[in-house]
Structure 1
C-alpha cells in the first residue's frame, strides 16, 4: 500500500476499533487482515466527520476506481464485514482492497500484493461519502 497521508474520522475510528476488539475476542481466523487494518489506523490522521474533505474514502463511501494495468473501471462501496457482498459491489474493510482504500483521496493510486503480482487501483471519484451528504451516522 502507498504511504501517503490517510484520514479517518473519529466516528469511523471508534467503529473500526470496536470491530477489531470484537474480532480479536472471537479469535477471528484472518489475523493478517486485522493487523493490516490496525497499521493503517495507526498512521491515519484522525479528523471530525464534519471536517473531512468530500474526496476522501470513508466507511460506507462508494468510489469509482480504475485498474492501472487493465484500465478497467469499477465501483465499490467500503463496508463493515457483515454488509459485504462482492456481487453487489460492497467490499469489506477487512478485504485487502477495502483496507487499502480507506482514508485515501481522489487521484491517489493504491497498490498491494496479490498472488499474481501487484494490483494498482487509482481512485477516480468518490460517488458517495456519508459525511459529505450529511449522513454522519451510517
Structure 2
C-alpha cells in the first residue's frame, strides 16, 4: 500500500493543466503522464496555507538519500520549463520528480528505474515555498 501524499490545491490545478496540455500537444510516450495523474488522483489536496511544512511541493528543495548506496542528492522540484540538471532542478514529469511529489521528510519511497527499484529516503526538506510564505510559485 502506498503512503498518503499531499498536494496543494494550486499545484494540483497547474499540474492537471500541464497533463492536459502534454496529452494534447506533447510528443513521445505518455507513461509518465499516466503515473503523475495516478499520483494526483490519490493525493490529499489541501489549501497552500494548510500544507504541512515537511511535504515536498512544487519548487521545494529536498535532500534525498539512496538507501542502497548511501548516496545523497539535492533537487529542486520544478515544472518542465524550469528543469535544469546542472542546477539540480528536476521536472515533475521526470520519473524521480513524480516519485517525490507530495512525500514528507523521513518517508521512504520506491523509485522505478530501468535497472529495477531504488529505495529513497526523504532526508530533509531544505525549502518549501508555502512554509516560507510564498504561495504564488
Structure 1 gap ranges (5+): none
- Could you report, residue by residue, the CA deviation over 1:90-138 in whole angstroms, capped at 9, with x for unpaired residues? 0100111100100000010111221222111100111000000011111
Specify the alignment match of 1:100 in structure 2. Answer: 99
Quick one: distance in 2 between partners of 1:30 and 1:101? 21
Task: Indicate if the aligned counterparts of 2:111 and 2:120 stay in contact, CA closer than 8 A.
Answer: no
Quick one: distance in 2 between partners of 1:76 and 1:26? 27
Specify the alignment match of 2:67 in structure 1. Answer: 68
Quick one: distance in 1 between partners of 2:111 and 2:74? 18
Aligned 1:22-101 pairs, distance under 5 A: 22-101=21-100
Specify the alignment match of 2:136 in structure 1. Answer: 137
Q: Which moved more, 1:96-105 or 1:26-35?
A: 26-35
Specify the alignment match of 2:116 in structure 1. Answer: 117
What TM-score, normalized by structure 2, do the two folds share? 0.96
Count how many residue pairs are aligned between Structure 1 and Structure 2: 137
Specify the alignment match of 1:18 in structure 2. Answer: 17
Please tell me the root mean square deviation across aligned C-alpha atoms, in Å: 1.0
Deviating beyond 4 angstroms after TM superposition, the runs of 4 or more aligned structure 1 residues are none
Specify the alignment match of 2:126 in structure 1. Answer: 127
